[in-house]
Amino acid sequence: MPTPSTRWLRVGRAMQLTLEGVAGATLFAMMLLTTADVTGRFFFNSPILGSVELTQLMLAAVVFLSLPVACWREEHVSVDLLDAIFPPRWIWLRQMIVNLIVTAALWVMAGRVWALGSRAFAWGDVTEFLRLPIGYLIYLMAIMLALSALLTVMRAGAYLLEGVGVLERGGPLSKGGDND
């Protein structure tokens, strides 16, 4: 019988594969669109109308669909200026604080972006050429920011539990932990 932690790992893995799959499919569609547009432009002097707008929308979707996975795995850009002078026994505290700061920033951004999505729908904002409503994309961005905030606060909690000794193995500090 699976334990609760095993179930959460399965849910997390399914979410990760779903987000990565949708982001990958969107990137593939963007590649096909760009290839068809360049081919049409070069060989037939007939580009695909609106391809620039579609590429911009798909690029935003790829970035924000990938954000929660990057936050959970802690694969975002980081600078290790303090690693050499920071005592190893306090790494959990540093990582917990960093994750809490990132959580706060993501949560504020999610709220502001959600408000922008509401405003885009209220004002009827659409793309310039194809007239596609952009509110849906903005809401997707806000949801992915909020999900990223949730995952970083969970990551901070995992650091806390492992740092104080509640978790002995399997936390973010462990080799082969849950962020693999």
CB 100 within 8 A of CB 57: no
The predicted-structure confidence for 44-91, as pLDDT tens digits, reads as follows 999 999 999 999 999 999 999 999 999 988 888 877 777 788 888 888
For residue 23, which of 54, 65, 86 has the smallest C-alpha distance? 65
Least confident interval from 14-18, 76-80, 111-115, 171-175? 171-175
What confidence score (pLDDT) does residue 36 get? 95
State the sign of the Cα–Cα–Cα–Cα dihedral 104, 109, 112, 118.
negative
Mean pLDDT of the 85-103 span:
89
Q: What is the pLDDT of residue 59?
A: 97
How far is the CA of 77 from the CAs of 70, 71, 73, 74, 155, in angstroms?
Answer: 10, 10, 12, 9, 17
Which of 43-47, 109-113, 129-133, 163-167 is least confident?
163-167
Beta bridge partners of 126: 133
CA atoms within 13 A on the CB side of 54: 16
DSSP string, 136-149: HHHHHHHHHHHHHH
Query: Which residue ranges make up each domain of the chain?
Result: 4-163
Closest CA to 158 of 2, 12, 1: 12
Residue 179 has pLDDT above 60, yes or no: no
pLDDT at residue 43 in the model? 93
Residue 180: the pLDDT is 46
Lowest mean pLDDT among 105-119, 125-139, 166-180: 166-180
- Which residue in the block uniquely carries the two structure tokens 């929308």? 57
Gyration radius of the chain over CA positions: 20
Which pLDDT tens digit goes with each residue over 113-159? 999 999 999 999 999 999 999 999 999 999 999 999 999 999 999 89
Q: Is the four-CA dihedral 76, 152, 179, 144 of positive or negative sign? A: negative
Tell me if residue 129 falls in helix, strand or coil. coil
